[in-house]
A and B are shown apart, each in its own frame.
Chain A
Amino acid sequence: MLHYQWNWAIIFEQVPGTEEYYYQWLIKGLELTVATALSAWVIALVLGALIGIARTVPSKWLSTLATAYVELFRNIPLLAQLFFWFFVLPELLPQAAGDWMKQSMPYPEFITGVFGLGLFTAARVAEQVRTGILALPRGQKNAGLAMGFSLGQTYRHVLLPMAFRIVIPPLTSEFMNMFKNSAVCYGIGLTELYFQLRQITGDYAPGNIIEVTGYVTLIYLTMALIVNRSMAWVERKVAVPGTIGGARK
């Protein structure tokens, strides 16, 4: 600690042996982090909503299947899941499909990362959606059915519009987790922000490890703040009037 050579300008220096600067590597990493998190969020939201709904429907086999999905994906660490998709799945598939995954699938780390994160987070989103639907008074569903709506229509016009507005606050933290969890994709070699940090501090500038890690920490904090503020805005927009969190009119 005594002989540490501080150099906060390190990120504006050129990477030895390349035409690029360190800050450009960090920006490239950040772009990939954002792209991964947003793409995975689309999968998580769509799949999670479907599974969450499936857990509440009166069909026994459908809800069992959905419960099994949630248990499966919630009880295995994310990194182990990513390893499974990346290293094990190609071996389990038929030869041709496995070879395609290993040799000709474009952007293998990115695709695996997006699907791995998406499937993992879908289980968490499903739990929130299910909780949101179950939080509604029983009468809402009965009222829908009494109006002559089919079960599908009751979900579409009565239950889901309310449930989604209720679950937005807990979904905020899942959305934030997405950005944080994308760093785990470092394990399968996705060159996102955390990967760039480890590459720079490992091979290129180990002497300025504190500064570079400090900058990356600031980037992650800023991302968290932006997600948090924008979701708070969405929350206010969709708040159900008449509830504690809702606008008074």
Chain B
Amino acid sequence: MSFDFSEITNNGGYLLEGLSYSAQLTGFAMSIGIVAGSLLAMARLSSIKGLSLAASGYVNLFRSLPLVLVIFWFYFLVPMVYGEPVGADRSAYITFSVFEAAYYCEIIRAGIQSISRGQVSAGQAVGFTYWQNMRYVVLPQAFRNVLPLLLLQTIILFQDTSLVYVVGATDFLGSADKIGHRDSALKEMYSFVAVSYLAISFILSTLVKKLHQRIAVIR
């Protein structure tokens, strides 16, 4: 068995483009996902029956479906609605934002529920409206409590972006796959991808653990 390292160095630019797409997709879906997830979490905990039902329906729907199925839905639906071809790379931005919002929602909901009722009452007692109470009392504490979980979910999201492979987008795995097929170097490419994901995710999750130890509230 021989391992041709020049395959990797010769195609460094293309692989880096793939990795940067994966990173951008992760960053975009995380930002939208956390904002939408917070709104969904508030809706789920709302006393307005219809709102909380709709939000939990949304969350349960997306959490019950395989991500590759959702990727496929948006892959053909977005161009149909939009009226012209959009491309797998771009429709994935919508897919991951919509899908990840459901997962972030559950984490943020747990965060909100970890806040004691007295905090909410105290906020109301000083005359805060619902939104002020959320903004200044509940959410800052909720986010602090679940920050490590949100970041770990983002690492999972980063790994999950590799699934855009099923609609042919060129993310990190997709770029390696295309080179591997062109040069008959699947062995080199797939090994390189696996080791790179391992290194990136391991370093990030170690950092999250460190952060967790630093910010954990001492009770």
- Listed in ascending order, the chain A residues whose CB lies under 8 Å from chain B are 1, 4, 71-72, 74-81, 83-84, 87-88, 91-92, 176, 179-184, 186-187, 194, 197-198, 209-210, 213, 216-217, 220-221, 224-225
Contact = CB atoms under 8 A, between A and B. Distances in A.
Interface of B is mostly: helix
A225 B64 contact: yes
A213 B72 contact: yes
A181 B163 CA distance: 11
B66 A180 contact: yes
Nearest to B162: A77
A88 B166 contact: no
Contacts of A224: 64-65
Contacts of A77: 159-160, 162-163, 173, 197
Nearest to A176: B64
Given A1-B81, A187-B165, A76 B64 contact: no
Contacts of A180: 64-67
B162 A79 contact: yes
B65 A217 contact: yes
A217 B72 CA distance: 11
Contact of A75 (B66, B72, B198): B198
A220 B66 CA distance: 8
Interface in B28-87: 61, 64-69, 72-73, 76-77, 80-81, 83
B202 interface: yes
A198 B69 CA distance: 10
Centre residue among A77, A81, A87, A225 by max chain B CB count within 10 A = A77
Contacts, number: 103
B90 to A, nearest CB: 18
Contact of A84 (B66, B81, B194): B194
Contacts of A216: 69
A183 to B, nearest CB: 4
A91 B1 contact: yes
A76 B1 contact: no
B148 to A, nearest CB: 14
Interface of B: 1, 61, 64-69, 72-73, 76-77, 80-81, 83, 159-160, 162-163, 165-166, 173, 177, 186-187, 190-191, 193-194, 197-198, 201-202, 205
A182 B61 CA distance: 18
Contacts of A75: 159, 197-198, 201-202, 205
- What are the 4 A-B residue pairs with the smallest beta carbon separation, nearest first? A224-B64, A75-B201, A183-B66, A77-B159
Contacts of B198: 72, 75-76
A74 B67 CA distance: 17
10 contacts: A75-B159, A76-B198, A79-B163, A83-B186, A92-B1, A183-B66, A183-B69, A213-B72, A220-B66, A221-B61
A168 to B, nearest CB: 19
A217 B69 CA distance: 8
Given A79-B165, A194-B68, A213-B76, 13 more contacts: A75-B197, A77-B159, A77-B160, A80-B190, A84-B191, A87-B190, A88-B186, A91-B1, A92-B187, A179-B66, A184-B66, A184-B163, A197-B72
Contacts of B72: 197-198, 213
Contacts of B193: 80, 83
B159 A76 contact: yes
Given A79-B163, A217-B69, A220-B64, A209 B76 contact: yes
Contacts of B69: 183, 194, 197, 213, 216-217, 220
